[in-house]
Chain A
Amino acid sequence: MIKRQFYHLGEYVLWLRKVFSKPEKFMMYYKETIRQIEEIGLGSLKIVFIISVFIGAVTAVQLSYQFGDSLIPTYYIGYALREMEIVELAPTITSLVLAGKIGSSIAAEIGGMRQKEIIDAMEIMGVNTQAYLVLPKIVAAMFSIPMLIILAAALSIFSGFLAAVTFGDFIPSDFIKGLTSFYDSYTVIIMIIKSFFFSFIIVTVSAYHGYFVKGGSIELGKSGTKAVVYSDIFILVFDYLIAQLMMG
């Protein structure tokens, strides 16, 4: 079991080296990157909007409940919500959800191409399939996902504010005071660094599982599941490592 995991880790690293090869033709990679930005970025807007709104609202409600009868000043709820969203919830929860949406889609797309011999056909043409199929996705994800995460953070803070002032006993000025208190731009830097790492993990782990799929439709389904599970595990591991390195 452990031996097999190390085998996959080694194969993944060797495969990544081929992914970062010089493109055969820049224009073809550019066009594919634009297509992927549309797919990964614009295609994920709706789900990011929905989860951000609800996570922000739920976090605000729960913080109000926890802090409600304590001696902690109420404006601290705005402060706690902002910190939680920026440092942890927006980058991590959004990435875990995107691993499900984008990761399974990438594994299915590349795995389907493997099964229909399209990857073999491209190899016969002389295309570096690892680079052509994966590199534009990496660039597109590292461009789009950080923006989605910034949007998610903003939306969830706004929805938390709405939930707190609409259904809680909060005066908007109290909440805004919390939101603007003790602000440190370092937390935003952490969020952006996390989003770059998580984007890379989602695309490469999912593409790896699709690229090496063997067998039929059941295996293709399993590769999608593995793509999501392993992406999630790596996201959580790197979430801890980044937190430890930058905040520990």
Chain B
Amino acid sequence: MIVAKNIHKSFGDKEVLKGIDFVFEKSKTNLIIGRSGAGKTVLLKALVGLIALTKGEVWYDDINFYNLTIKEVRKLRNKVGMLFQGNALFDSMSIEANVKFPLDMFTDMSEKEKLKQVNSVLDRVELEGVNNKYPSEISGGMQKRVGIARAIVMEPEYLFCDEPNSGLDPKTALIIDDLIKDITDEKEMTTIINTHDMNSVMEIGENILLLDQGKVVWTGDKDKIIKSNNKFIDDFIFASPFLKNMKNKAFGLDNK
């Protein structure tokens, strides 16, 4: 579980996050959604410590993240995995070396054990026979899977995903969503996903935080979001007239 308490973040005079309070639950896919510029990425990076907070606290279970020393932060980060929007793979390393990198750096496992672990996570993300390929030799969807494999190779307790579906076709995006959801369930991780893909919201939105202009405007899950009468959600989720009509027809509402 990760708890955000009264998080504020300013860049100069501009306040980007204005007092965020939220509980990101364990074994659930927690989604941060909102329009472009709402503060989603800043919130995600603040939670993981890539951006320092102006005010507030972030708790990883019973650990206050911003009270830790640099050494303690690095230790905690061995329990954290992150999938980046652009995958952040090492271009000059093979897929196997990319996934093995955290094991090489932080474990005393033998080479055989490391390879076993790498192959196990590559199998889990349904990537086989790509060990010796380079990131530039595989598709965008496959690169995402490699990113996920690298994020989970150390068996983290917390998984962060920044726009995991960006640049993917709808079908591949759904596969990636399902993969993240399944892994979250299997490993009982606290997973936090930053997205504006509405398919993801409907598919894996177990605990959703809707941001607008740095403030929390709505929280709930995918079932609640569909039935919500909140005008802001309606305008955001059912943005097109087509989707609005579909929702109104489905719930027998006036077609306004």
A contacts, CB < 8 Å to B: 24-25, 28, 116-118, 120-121, 123-128
Q: Assuming the A-B contacts A124-B82, A126-B77, are A28 and B50 also in contact, with contact meaning beta carbons closer than 8 angstroms in the complex? A: no
Contact of A123 among B50, B75, B81, B104 (CB under 8 A): B50
26 intermolecular pairs with C-beta atoms under 8 Å apart: A28-B104, A28-B105, A116-B86, A117-B85, A117-B86, A117-B88, A118-B90, A120-B82, A121-B82, A121-B84, A123-B50, A124-B48, A124-B50, A124-B77, A124-B81, A125-B78, A125-B101, A125-B105, A125-B106, A126-B75, A126-B76, A126-B80, A126-B105, A126-B106, A127-B74, A128-B74
Q: Are B106 and A25 in contact (CB under 8 A)?
A: yes
Q: Are B90 and A124 in contact (CB under 8 A)?
A: no
Q: Which residues from chain B contact A123 at a C-beta distance below 8 Å?
A: 50, 77
Residue of B nearest to A121 (CB): B88
Q: Are A24 and B105 in contact (CB under 8 A)?
A: yes
Contact of B77 among A116, A117, A125 (CB under 8 A): A125
Task: Say whether B102 faces chain A, with CB atoms less than 8 Å apart.
Answer: yes
Name 12 extra pairs, CB < 8 A, besides A123-B50, A124-B80, A124-B160: A25-B106, A116-B88, A117-B88, A118-B90, A120-B88, A124-B48, A124-B81, A125-B102, A126-B75, A126-B76, A126-B106, A127-B74
A126 CA / B84 CA spacing, docked (Å): 15
Q: Which residues from chain A contact B84 at a C-beta distance below 8 Å?
A: 117, 120-121
Chain B: minimal CB distance from A185 (Å): 42
> Which residues of B, 56-77, contact A by the 8 Å Cβ criterion?
73-77
Which of A24, A126, A127 has the most C-beta atoms of chain B within 10 angstroms of its own C-beta?
A126
A118 CA / B98 CA spacing, docked (Å): 11
A70 CA / B95 CA spacing, docked (Å): 68
> How many residues belonging to B are interface residues under a CB distance threshold of 8 Å?
24
Q: Which residues from chain B contact A121 at a C-beta distance below 8 Å?
A: 82, 84, 88
Chain A: minimal CB distance from B167 (Å): 14
Chain A: minimal CB distance from B83 (Å): 9
A229 CA / B89 CA spacing, docked (Å): 31
Question: What is the count of residue pairs linking A and B with beta-carbon distances less than 8 angstroms?
Answer: 51
> Which residues of B, 87-136, contact A by the 8 Å Cβ criterion?
88-90, 101-102, 104-106
Q: Which residues from chain B contact A24 at a C-beta distance below 8 Å?
A: 105-106
A129 CA / B16 CA spacing, docked (Å): 27
Q: Are A25 and B105 in contact (CB under 8 A)?
A: yes
Chain B: minimal CB distance from A202 (Å): 21
Q: Which residues from chain A contact B50 at a C-beta distance below 8 Å?
A: 120, 123-124
Q: Which residues from chain B contact A128 at a C-beta distance below 8 Å?
A: 74
A8 CA / B88 CA spacing, docked (Å): 27
Residue of B nearest to A29 (CB): B105
Chain B: minimal CB distance from A143 (Å): 22
Q: Assuming the A-B contacts A25-B104, A25-B106, are A126 and B88 also in contact, with contact meaning beta carbons closer than 8 angstroms in the complex? A: no
Q: Which residues from chain A contact B81 at a C-beta distance below 8 Å?
A: 124
Q: Which residues from chain A contact B104 at a C-beta distance below 8 Å?
A: 25, 28
Q: Which residues from chain A contact B86 at a C-beta distance below 8 Å?
A: 116-117
A128 CA / B105 CA spacing, docked (Å): 11
A210 CA / B147 CA spacing, docked (Å): 24
A127 CA / B160 CA spacing, docked (Å): 17
Residue of A nearest to B79 (CB): A126
A56 CA / B230 CA spacing, docked (Å): 79
Q: Which residues from chain A contact B85 at a C-beta distance below 8 Å?
A: 117
Chain B: minimal CB distance from A23 (Å): 10
A28 CA / B102 CA spacing, docked (Å): 11
Q: Are A127 and B105 in contact (CB under 8 A)?
A: yes
A125 CA / B76 CA spacing, docked (Å): 9
